[in-house]
Amino acid sequence: MLAKKIENIQKIINNSDKSKPHIKMTTQGSSHKQIIILMGKENTEKFMISTSNYITNINSALKSIKSNVMVDYIRKEPIGVTIVTDKVVLSSNIQVIENFVKNVKNINSEDIELPRLPQLKSYLKIIDIPYLIENSNITISLDFVEMIIKSNHIFNNLSLMLKLQVIKVLSKSNIVIIWINI
């Protein structure tokens, strides 16, 4: 096993491995099973008093529109509340929850912002990219990678969260990893 790993590293260093780039993508952090409702501290305190009743009532309202989504629990946050569901929510589900929250007695509805889904923290990692552009001594640059990404239809609906990174695997290798936060 160790001999095979050493052989693979030597192939990379000697640039004898002409494999295609691999793409790995993942999502970490919040999910679209959470609905964030921003409200003032006073509203949050009042809202959290009867959360078990609110969960029951929201689930009844969701069931009335024939939704498969159910609220699991409501969590207090420093900026408001987060309503956590058992499935990914649709816009119709968010509308039902928004209407319910705005109609809760003893809550100032003007202090409640529109419910929103959390921003996902995703990244795309493209590995086994040659560091030197073919048949030249020109190294791959951030501008070059950005130009390729912007011209590729796969990335049409993605927005970059941070500057992408080009990471050289080993100092003597001709292979890089491109790390993209989306």
- Residue 166 in domain: yes
Mean of the per-residue pLDDT values of the chain: 80
Averaging pLDDT over each range in 47-56, 109-118, 142-151, which range is the top one? Answer: 47-56
13, pLDDT greater than 80: no
- Residue 51 in domain: yes
Q: What is the pLDDT of residues 48-79, one digit of tens each?
A: 999 999 999 999 999 999 999 999 999 998 88
Q: Place 163 in a pLDDT band, splitting at 50, 70 and 90.
A: confident
Residues spanned by the domain of 23: 16-29+120-181
- Residue 7 in domain: no
Domain boundary residue, one of 111, 130, 156: 111
Q: Is 78 exposed, middle or buried (0-12, 13-18, 19+ CB in 10 A)?
A: exposed
Whether 101 and 45 share a structural domain: yes
pTM assigned to the model: 0.52
Whether 95 and 128 share a structural domain: no
Whether 71 and 54 share a structural domain: yes
Cross-strand bridge partners of residue 166: 178
Q: How far is CA 136 from CA 87, 130, 133, 176, in A?
A: 51, 11, 6, 16
pLDDT above 70 covers a percentage of the chain that reads 76
Residue 52 and residue 21: Cα distance in Å, rounded?
50
25, pLDDT greater than 90: no
130 and 174 in contact (C-beta within 8 Å)? yes
- Residue 3 in domain: no
